[in-house]
Amino acid sequence: MELVDVIGLAGVPLIAALVQVAKAWVGEERYYPLLALAMGLGLNVGIALARDGDLPTAVLLGLVAGLAASGLYSQGKTLASR
């Protein structure tokens, strides 16, 4: 695993925080997972392009990071409602 991969996966809390910030502009909750997925892809592809990383790996890691951030968001929402 390269440094670019670790940096991309470390962005999961950042993506979850950005989704929280985006709540002010995105009204419906059903779009939050798509927003997290798009942010994960954008973050990882951007890092790969900036650091001459492997683009297919960046896309895969972006999907994983976006889905992980989406799960982190929904789990936090579940715990907060208890």
- Tens digits of per-residue pLDDT, 21-69? 998 898 888 888 899 999 999 999 998 899 888 899 899 999 999 988 8
Q: Please indicate, yes or no, whether the overall pTM of this predicted structure exceeds 0.85.
A: no
* Crossing angle of helices 55-80 and 12-22, rounded to 10°: 60
Give the amino acid at 4.
V
Q: How many angstroms separate the CA atoms of 31 and 10, rounded?
A: 23
Q: Transcribe 63-76 into DSSP letters.
A: HHHHHHHHHHHHHH
Residues spanned by the domain of 54 = 3-80
User: CA 32, CA 5: separation in Å to the nearest integer?
Assistant: 24
Name the domain count of the chain: 1
Average pLDDT over every residue of 5-23: 85
